[in-house]
Structure 1
Amino acid sequence: MKVQNIADKILNAPRVVSSSMCLGIVSVMLISILSTYFSTLPLFEEIGLSPLTIAILVGVVIGNSPINRVMHRIATGVDFSKSVLLKLGVILFGLRITFEQIAQLGWYGVFVDLVVVASVLIVAYLLGTKLFKLDYQTSILIGAGSAICGAAAVLATEPVVKAQAHKVSIAVATVVLFGTTSMFLYPALYPYLGLTEHAFGIYIGATVHEVAQVVAAGTAVNNEVANAAVIEKMVRVMLLAPTLLFLSWVLARKANAIGENASNDKPNLIIPWFAVLFVVVSGINSLEIIPPAFHQGLLTIDNYLLCMAMAALGLRTHLTPIFNVGFKPVLLAACLFFMLVAGGYGLSYLVG
């Protein structure tokens, strides 16, 4: 009888795991489809909420509702989505960028992006950990979201810093708050800043959080501003891979310094290969060898992969730890937002 029970457990184990995997993936897929639909509604289009943002919000609501009691039945698929599908989504994100875009922008556009990304990340870490006494993971996630490309950067940085789901949600929330604010602020500032259309486009692209928010802010002025803003933003997104590699190296050295690694010879550097593949995919995209229809199909798949990852993060996010953190993450994000608006203007004015 005992042998029979053991045999039953062994035989049933794959089925249980497979069921949890399938149900979890289907659940986050349904949320991503719903979020994509919501993002096309006039109300959400006007305020610039992307499917990624909506997906994590829907996920958080569901994950903190009574439905959460059955989370164990879909846990395997949800965890798979927020790890494996996330990395696949980041890799395919490289299909949005070409090396030609960097050449078109000129050295000054690249210079502005480099200064913005580096300075915001450094200030985020110093202010977050020293002034606001936040943990380094939350500080870096908020810094990455502000410095590079919003929610997508937060998602891509999460595997490197190994942050908990609620910390990712906090960082995404700050991106939504100040990124949405920037969409209305920048067009209102345009007549008073004395920048050329090209320089103002660089200003928007180098400092606004999300790609969708850059498009919204740029087109609110005119097409020339929008074109310059989008190219500048894409170059900024291109800096995601080297930033992740640098963060991985720094964190490995930090771990080695405090004795977390078994070896004392070298830091345990973990290379985020998905970031390397992101650059490889960008290079392939630059060759223009992918048929347009297939390229568009891959972009659609990428949108859903990232959306599913955000939904999974939302489902795994519990609000209690977020409330316990208080307003410190928002204050950090506010400081970074002011830095982007003021410092970005100064840089754009100098190169414009």
Structure 2
Amino acid sequence: MAQTLHTLTDQIRAAAADGTALRIRGGGSKDFYGNSLKGELLDTRGLNGILSYEPSELVVTVAAGTPLAELEAVLAERGQCLAFEPPHFHWSPGNSGTTVGGMVAAGLSGPARASAGAVREYVLGLHMVNGLGEHLVFGGQVMKNVAGYDVSRMMAGSMGTLGLITQVSLKVLPVAPAEATLVFALDQARALECLHTWGGQPLPLNASCWIHDNTASPAGQDLLFVRLRGAVAAVEAACQKMLTEQTGQRMDNTQAQGDWALCRDQQLPFFQRPADPALALWRISVAQTAPAFDTLPWPQMVEWHGGLRWLWAPVDAGAQLHTLAQAHGGNATVFIAYLSDLTGARGPFSINDPAQMAIQQRLKQSLDPHRIFNPQRLFPAW
């Protein structure tokens, strides 16, 4: 790993000297995400290995190019996990698997984000190389380790535009003693009403997904799936209470776990590419208190615990969706657009607050003054 780090650092310094753009890439599982891919390849896969793991301290330090599946397997052997359930995106063409560095850089979390927390909340510290080829260390290996600006957590979701992550320390958690998934036949408005009610009660709710299931019957069926995790007694009591209040049934755990993994990795039937290539997959992030968007004419899926609404809609519906999301304190982004190069749908990320954008620009200037890392991947102006 030391030799690989030395080689990558030399490549960064050379790029800074002659203004060559660099494209940071691990397994390539998120090549589809964000703006265009530009620059000379900076391959992180040689930064591989679990550098330290203290199960009793719930902390693991991993080299950035380590496959996510490898880390999760090691944690599972000790009955621990990454509670934020990062997606793997096995379906992304031409990828060799999600890496830990890519997981942090993308900042994407699974269906339990509201209850378990997002990626950035589990980043304790990291090492990185900035745009001048300097090795920097932020944070540490304990929760309270930062005085001032927490750059380590700023790297989560930065899409590689601020620097090369070389290693990261993460907080891990024990696997919950018990888990159950309940399913209810409810329309979107009633499903959200139930979730709001249950969310205000001391129930071990962990994740939820509302979807119109076209496989349930010829006409399809509106279904709400709710996952509970926690102590055995708490999960059992919650199941009994919820099934008493609302007609539903308990799923087989093996089947449910497979379905939640498909939800996390966006491999449910809902995410299959539609026949119409003009449709884009929109990711609408809004508060959980937002009402049902049942007046929209396009297929939807709701991850209430993820604070997300997914839908297939034309790219030119952007103005309508942006207005709707902003009215509820959120934002709408194009997650996947198949005609993006023709329609100008690239550039899905935006910051409407000038003060926030100014902070982002100063951070970019400080860490990558020559603007060599992942140009235009996050914002078209970078």
Q: Please, what TM-score do these two structures have when normalized by structure 1? A: 0.28
Question: Which has the higher relative contact order, 1 or 2, with Cα contacts under 8 A spaced 6 or more apart?
Answer: 1
Higher fraction of strand: 2
Q: Please, what TM-score do these two structures have when normalized by structure 2? A: 0.26
